[in-house]
Amino acid sequence: MPMRIGSFSLLALWLLACESGPPPGMTDPGELIYFGYVNKQAQCSRCHGDEGQGGMFGPQIRGAVKKLGVDSVRAIIAHGRGEGDKRMPGMAKELTPSQIEQVIGFLRRWDNTSSVDSSVIYKDH
């Protein structure tokens, strides 16, 4: 029995050690939220990609603030958008209004560096 407890403890310690924090230099609060370091449930990059280019589960969001406007992006983040399996869930329960503003601030960095087709930003699926 002591061997099982010891093995379980080592496994638990190893799993906790694998939980990585943000890379050195990532200090922007909006970026930390976008990549799920603040709240795993609100990890934008999981669906929208590391560079906002879109992915299997979410559309491109590079340039979204510039194209849609701050108020629309704020509403989409807070309340979601779309229908069915392709629906983006609202994050109002996961993020505070201040955190939503931080994400918008981070997304604005991509407004002037959009290198992908901005016509696909947040089309309803």
pLDDT in tens, 8-61: 444 444 444 455 789 999 999 999 999 999 999 999 999 999 999 998 899 999
Q: Say whether domain 28-120 belongs to CATH 1.10.760.10.
A: yes
Q: Angle of helix 97-108 relative to helix 70-79, nearest 10 degrees? A: 130
- The domain segmentation of the chain, as residue ranges, is 28-120
Distances (CA, A) of 45 to 7, 10, 36: 34, 31, 8
Token digits for 105? Answer: 């601030």
d(CA 117, CA 44): 19
Residue 115 pLDDT: 58
> Considering the entire predicted model, what is its pTM?
0.76
Residue 84 pLDDT: 86
Residue with the bigger pLDDT between 101 and 115: it is 101
pLDDT in tens, 57-79: 999 999 999 999 999 999 999 99
Residue 122 pLDDT: 47
Residue 34 pLDDT: 96
Residue 6 pLDDT: 45
Residue 110 pLDDT: 87
Residue 86 pLDDT: 81
